[in-house]
Amino acid sequence: MAAAFRKAAKSRQREHRERSQPGFRKHLGLLEKKKDYKLRADDYRKKQEYLRALRKKALEKNPDEFYYKMTRVKLQDGVHVIKETKEEVTPEQLKLMRTQDIKYIEMKRVAEAKKIERLKAELHLLDFQGKQQNKHVFFFDTKKEVEQFDIATHLRTAPELVDRVFNRPTIETLQKEKVKGVNNQTRLKVSFSIFLQVQVYGNLGSLPPSPHCPPPPPPPAFHEIICGKSTKFS
């Protein structure tokens, strides 16, 4: 109860106010308090002690005094600074560093080449940027056979895979196998029906405008394979 009374009495007591600088001394600035004077006095005494220690050290200095660090220190603007030593590289060390650099570059080249081969092995249905220079020659007996020749039908594969030299699966393989890595079904935009109609009419511009007779539904595996390529017909 007494503690509560003391707290209540403090809340009603007079507010402590510091004395301000008199009006005729305002040109001298704010009136310095004791805590401000104490900080200033302590700083002054600390600097005086430091100067006194430097004077004593200069008076007691031995002119014959030597330390090994003196060989690595120079005086700059009144302050001792350690000299920057230049590392001398011998021809043997330079040759060794160049050899290590060549080995590192060779190691990175081999690692990147293996990475490229691994990525190429994962690209099942993606065409190359350029055409292959190699040629595959087919022989026929008559001119009519040449005019009726269809390379996709002859190789039993999709027309998009004709330009591929390796990893060119047949239609039967596409119907049985599934493409690895095709997990996002929302990206399968190209339907198998458009593919069949393009096979019949030649290109997308010659398709019939009325879609009343859609083609029969394809097998699910083949539909996924063709759609996973995301081919854009032009």
207-227 tens-digit pLDDT:
455 444 455 455 444 444 444
Query: Cβ-count burial of 191 within 10 angstroms (0-12 exposed, 13-18 middle, 19+ buried)?
Result: middle
In this predicted structure, what is the pLDDT of residue 180? 60
Is residue 164 situated within a structural domain? Answer: yes
Q: Is the predicted pLDDT of residue 230 greater than 80, yes or no? A: no
Q: Is the predicted pLDDT of residue 186 greater than 50, yes or no? A: no
pLDDT in tens, 6-63: 888 877 788 878 788 888 998 988 888 899 999 999 999 999 999 999 999 999 988 8
Is residue 27 situated within a structural domain? Answer: no
| Residue 20 to residue 28: CA distance in whole angstroms | 12
Is residue 206 situated within a structural domain? Answer: yes
Is residue 154 situated within a structural domain? Answer: yes
Same domain, 167 and 115: no
Q: Is the predicted pLDDT of residue 197 greater than 60, yes or no? A: no
Same domain, 159 and 213: yes
Helix (H) or strand (E) segment spanning residue 74: strand 73-76
Same domain, 221 and 161: yes
pLDDT in tens, 128-182: 555 556 677 888 888 888 888 888 888 888 888 887 777 788 888 888 876 565 5
Same domain, 174 and 217: yes
162, 151 contact by CB (below 8 A) = yes
Is residue 147 situated within a structural domain? Answer: yes
| Residue 234 to residue 232: CA distance in whole angstroms | 6
- Could you give the number of structural domains in the chain? 2
Same domain, 156 and 223: yes
Closest Cα partner for 138 from 148, 127, 123?
A: 148
Is residue 17 situated within a structural domain? Answer: no
What domain range includes position 181? 143-228
Same domain, 187 and 222: yes
| Residue 178 to residue 124: CA distance in whole angstroms | 11
pLDDT in tens, 90-99: 888 888 888 8
Q: Is the predicted pLDDT of residue 3 greater than 80, yes or no? A: yes
| Residue 97 to residue 106: CA distance in whole angstroms | 14
Is residue 190 situated within a structural domain? Answer: yes
Same domain, 155 and 207: yes
In this predicted structure, what is the pLDDT of residue 208? 52
Same domain, 98 and 169: no
Is residue 210 situated within a structural domain? Answer: yes
Residue 166's identity, in one-letter code, is F
